[in-house]
Structure 1
Amino acid sequence: MAVSVAGAESGVPHKTKRKRAWKPWLARVAATAATGYGYYLSFAPRPLWWLAPIAFAAFALVLRGRSFRGAFGYGFVFGMAFFVPLLVWLQDFLGRDFGPLPWLALSFALSLYFGLAGFLIRVVSRLPLAPLWGALVFVALETPRAWFPLGGFPWGRVAFSQPEGAFLSLASVGGAPLVGLAVVLTGFGLAAVVARLWRTRKAWDRALVWPAVLTVLPAAAGLAVWPTIGTEAQNGSLTVASVQGNAPDIGLDLQGQRGVLRANALAESARLLQKVHSGQAPKPDLLLWPETSTPLEGDDPGVDQMVSAFGSPAIIGALVRTPDGAAENSAVVWDPNTGPGQRYVKKDLVPFGEYVPARAVARLVTPFIDDTRDMRPGDGSNAALSVAGAKVGVFICYESAFDGPARDATAAGGELLVVPTNNAWYGPGEMSYQQLAMARLRAVEHGRAVVVSAVSGVSAFVAPDGTITSSTGLFTADALVGRVPLRTQTTLSDRIGAWTEYGLLALAIAGVAGGFVLRFRTRRGTAAPTGTTAGEAAG
């Protein structure tokens, strides 16, 4: 057998050494994929929020000692193992006519952010308090992901894995960015502790102090903040009824079935009205219909009659056709005496669902593009509607994933937040539960009760501390009636606003710059001639 020089020196054939070389790499890829899938398992509908920091600890351990290229690759694998199962509901929506390409392509694009995160985490890994800088980098990359691609797709942010648990209360201090930072920092700190213990084989040494602090501090801070989360009414309360009319589970074939949604909503409203008249349910102060429950062009006698029969105002989710022919996804205040009035228009539209970006590219993967007209986005006005003697903040469906709409609704005076949504397109999978988790985070972030009103579920009443007080099932006709508190106190997160996100982004950029500078100086120092310092060699 031919033996290489390297093999001859060690007594090991070259072929055997090659086998040993690739096995650790393959094991790391498998471990990274398992870690990414474990991170996915921390998301709703599973109450496994604590899995997220464990997943980040394992991810950080995989990245230790890797090259920049390897760190990018492992980050990408982590992302694909996370996004592919998280977004499988897209395939339920698209069906067999489209195949898996759009779902997998979006997962691929989003995973590139995780790859970049892996690369940059290695850049900052030599800085003091490296776990903190690494966590800042990972969370900071969620900001551009809310901008690009396709106008941004912030689904799967770290904070959305935390609709309950130790970290959730931090949303009232710094919103979703601070919750995400706390989760990742806990994981990265834990990884540093484990690595140090493995290297020294000691139960404790002084070098463990800061990694241990970074591991424990986020959860401790979250637990300390929980007593400040208020749930009591501050300006009275409202009895709210949310009507879930239901829809057939037919995915894209639901296109053109808006008449069915309207008929179902009217039928369930009639059943609720019978319960009110018989004393089985209290009369609501406010009636809610989900997103796009009915097409609306001018008045609607059927809806008008239904609202008049209740004798209470309503917020009706409607696809409004304006006089100039534009379509707007709206929440319309409907008075029992005067009919439709002020309305909020959704401003963060769903790409390919409510508008089509890059039509020339989209035309390659879907035959419906030429027959699809873009909806017109709103300008953010009327984020808090005056109805039933209160200010009711509104953000619609997909807007739950963005920080701005709920913040705007609260800043406009919203004492209660409502989320009309239509997830009937996306099948019986996890999408509705993932969105409900976002609503629970928004409740704590803004100190408001949140009512999610869905066409086919899950509709829910959420207390200001994120607790679900009542909810419906998927693809069932149902109605929820409950008393919700009206609150006026703003949280620290409301007062700071987007500055938390921008501050964390600025720190991450500074850390990356410092990481590059440190590596450049280290490289110069290594290249210095023997007997001279790096500074002398550079001079």
Structure 2
Amino acid sequence: MKAAATKLQKLIHGWSWGQASWVILSGCLMAIALPPWSLWPLAWVGLVPLWRVVRTTPAIALAAAYGLLWGLVYYGISLAWITHLHPLMWMGVPWLNSVAIALSAWIFIVLWGSVCIAVWGGTVAWLSRRWPGRSLWLVLAGTALWCALEALRNYSPLDWSPLSLTQSPSNLWILHLTRLSGPQILSALLVATNGLLAYALPTPKLHPTHPPTHPPIHSPTLPLALTLILAGHLLGALLYAQTAPIPPGQSLSLGLVQGNVPTREKLTPQGIRQALEGYTEGYQSLVAQGVAAVVTPEGALPQLWNPNSPQMAAMLQTVGEAGVPLWLGTFAPVAGNGRQQYTQSILELRADGQYHGRYDKVQLVPLGEYIPFEALLGRLISRLSPLDSYLVPGQPRQQFATSVGRATVGICYESAYSRLFRRQTQAGGEFIVTASNNDPYPVWMMQQHHGLDVLRAVESDRWAIRVTNTGLSGLVDNHGRTLWLREPQTYLVHRAELERRQTLTPYVRWGDWLTPLLLGLALGWGWWGDRHSPL
């Protein structure tokens, strides 16, 4: 206890509000580079203050604290939309508990991302103190570590705001680099460029015992940073200009229905009737327009799949009469251990009255769709909310084979998980369909979601159709160009023309090969530098 108290005192004593201000500025700059502001050029300089602070902070714990602060600012701003979970009183949750649930969800995911940046900041400080003169290697090591932490976080239940999102949907040239190694290549470019710029600038006196430092007269870091920015955009432009031809007859007409039934209403009998009427009318309208299939959002008909229920029977009768497949967002049962369990699913209904294609949501939302560590948290959550924990995830290697071709599917939150899209595309997915609810979140969350879908379309060289309940529904081509995007909180139907593609980008073929390569180079270069001469 005394040792911990001593460390805390040292941490407090070493804290500098001047340095903290730089870190806060850095977090704010990177946050407003994200949608909806999309000031993407700021991301190429926004990390410079963080780099400068952590590499000049002598105490590792203090540098980690500054990294934590950066994460609290960046993720706190970019994920503030989570608090729109409140109010939940319509679900029987008391007002105070509703506030607690919304704030807890926001704080939890913000802290998760911030802890990763704290690890990065502490590690960079330790490396800088141990090898202070090896600037190029330190930038490489810091870049590799950031990419590794982002990659690991993408295998966790919580992820949303990677650095790559700062460039989407606006900077289309640079987005095309994701075809080489996925979104991590953008994170690597941003972190490395900012690190090189940080080493190129004079470092002011930040500590009483550390005099100001200046870059060497012939420091290569500034030209290298400018070269990275220029070369990255030029290579992206070349990839943007290249379009692999597709065989004739690969165009596809899909219809989408944005039902605009708020969640607090669609779970009531009146809301279910409204959803059934709206999606039935939209389906019939699109069938008359000659579409090959009709797509509905996540949970369009929020009932457990039962072909004998009145609502499902009515929908099946409509599909049987029209003969055009309907991709219905609903809940489908799965075999459980003596307990009713179901998945968030997209089912393809055909004229024979059965569903054929089925996709079950893999990446469930913690606390929203299931309770993580249920043995530990279940009792606590049950005190805050009347919700049960019976949604189960689908299998990671699913394939959604439909009557019009194999589709790569993502349901809502899954848009942040590029690996799920990559697997399906590698297995033959010819186009992307994302089905989302997006209620009760604000428009700027929807814009972030759209940015993630643009990333998924570009990296896999696939057209993507976005179908949502309350917005933003849209159509994105394989170059990330938004061809159609409608306003939120409106009911609409739309006929979209897209291409089916069979190309396999390097990322789809081999995945994120860049992150392990960077880690290997950093370790190898570091070992070689120890045995020979420092940079």
Specify the TM-score bucket, using the shorter chain as the normaliser: 0.7 to 0.9
Deviation string 1:177-219 (CA, Å, 9 cap, x unpaired) is: 1121122222222223334899669997667544543454433
Whether contact under 8 Å (1:233, 1:485) holds in the other structure is no
Whether contact under 8 Å (1:258, 1:293) holds in the other structure is no
Partner residue in 1 for 2:278: 267
Q: CA deviation at 1:86?
A: 1.3
CA distance in 2, matches of 1:262, 1:144: 43
SS of alignment partner, residue 287 of structure 1: strand
Partner residue in 2 for 1:77: 69
SS of alignment partner, residue 40 of structure 2: coil
Question: 2:463 is matched with which residue: 406, 429, 449?
Answer: 449
SS of alignment partner, residue 102 of structure 1: helix
Partner residue in 1 for 2:239: 225
Question: 1:101 is matched with which residue: 90, 100, 104?
Answer: 104
Deviation string 1:216-247 (CA, Å, 9 cap, x unpaired) is: 44334333432235586765111111111012
Whether contact under 8 Å (2:436, 2:468) holds in the other structure is yes
Q: CA deviation at 1:496?
A: 1.2
Q: For the pair shown, which has the larger CA radius of gyration, 1 or 2?
A: 1
Q: 1:304 to 1:502 in 2, by over 3 A?
A: farther
Whether contact under 8 Å (1:471, 1:480) holds in the other structure is no
Whether contact under 8 Å (1:71, 1:119) holds in the other structure is yes
Deviation string 1:100-159 (CA, Å, 9 cap, x unpaired) is: 233123312321111111112233444351323222221211122224xxx431211111
Deviation string 1:414-464 (CA, Å, 9 cap, x unpaired) is: 11110111121x322422221211110010110000111111111111110
Partner residue in 2 for 1:136: 144
* Structure 1 range deviating more: 154-163 or 261-270: 261-270
SS of alignment partner, residue 480 of structure 1: strand
* Structure 2 residue ranges without an equivalent (≥5): 1-11, 88-94, 205-211
Q: 1:188 to 1:101 in 2, by over 3 A?
A: same
Whether contact under 8 Å (1:470, 1:480) holds in the other structure is no
- Counterparts of 1:196-345 in structure 2, within 5 Å, are 208-230=222-244, 236-248=250-262, 253=264, 256-257=267-268, 260=271, 263-264=274-275, 266-271=277-282, 273-274=284-285, 277=288, 282-294=289-301, 295-299=303-307, 300-308=312-320, 310-322=322-334, 325-345=340-360
* Matched residue type, 1:401: A
Q: Does 1:46 align with 2:37?
A: yes
CA distance in 2, matches of 1:102, 1:367: 15
Whether contact under 8 Å (2:443, 2:488) holds in the other structure is no
Q: CA deviation at 1:23?
A: 11
* Matched residue type, 1:139: C
Partner residue in 1 for 2:7: none
* Matched residue type, 1:474: P
SS of alignment partner, residue 364 of structure 1: helix
Q: Does 1:474 align with 2:488?
A: yes
Deviation string 1:257-301 (CA, Å, 9 cap, x unpaired) is: 487256325415415634764xxxx32111001111112433122
Q: 1:318 to 1:24 in 2, by over 3 A?
A: closer
- Counterparts of 1:340-379 in structure 2, within 5 Å, are 340-359=355-374, 360-361=376-377, 363-364=379-380, 367=383, 371-379=387-395
* Structure 1 range deviating more: 132-141 or 263-272: 263-272
Q: CA deviation at 1:397?
A: 1.4
* Structure 1 range deviating more: 466-475 or 492-501: 492-501
Q: 1:51 to 1:212 in 2, by over 3 A?
A: closer
Deviation string 1:284-329 (CA, Å, 9 cap, x unpaired) is: 1110011111124331222213334543212111111347632111
CA distance in 2, matches of 1:314, 1:207: 56
Provide TM-score, normalisation by structure 2: 0.82
Whether contact under 8 Å (1:344, 1:380) holds in the other structure is no
CA distance in 2, matches of 1:356, 1:317: 22
- Counterparts of 1:407-486 in structure 2, within 5 Å, are 407-424=422-439, 426-486=440-500
Provide TM-score, normalisation by structure 1: 0.81
Whether contact under 8 Å (2:140, 2:518) holds in the other structure is no
* Matched residue type, 1:189: L
Whether contact under 8 Å (1:243, 1:269) holds in the other structure is no
- Counterparts of 1:10-49 in structure 2, within 5 Å, are 25-49=16-40
* Matched residue type, 1:109: W
Question: 1:115 is matched with which residue: 102, 118, 135?
Answer: 118
Partner residue in 2 for 1:394: 409
* Structure 1 range deviating more: 450-459 or 228-237: 228-237
CA distance in 1, matches of 2:74, 2:352: 51
Give the aligned CA root-mean-square deviation in angstroms: 3.2
* Structure 1 residue ranges without an equivalent (≥5): 1-20, 523-539
* Structure 1 range deviating more: 488-497 or 267-276: 267-276
Question: 2:48 is matched with which residue: 57, 77, 81?
Answer: 57
CA distance in 2, matches of 1:478, 1:112: 42
Q: 1:216 to 1:344 in 2, by over 3 A?
A: same
Q: 1:98 to 1:414 in 2, by over 3 A?
A: same
Report how many residues are paired: 487
CA distance in 1, matches of 2:385, 2:107: 19
- Counterparts of 1:167-206 in structure 2, within 5 Å, are 167-195=174-202
SS of alignment partner, residue 177 of structure 2: helix
Q: 1:416 to 1:210 in 2, by over 3 A?
A: closer
Question: 1:154 is matched with which residue: 156, 159, 164?
Answer: 159
Deviation string 1:6-51 (CA, Å, 9 cap, x unpaired) is: xxxxxxxxxxxxxxx9999212212211210111111112232222
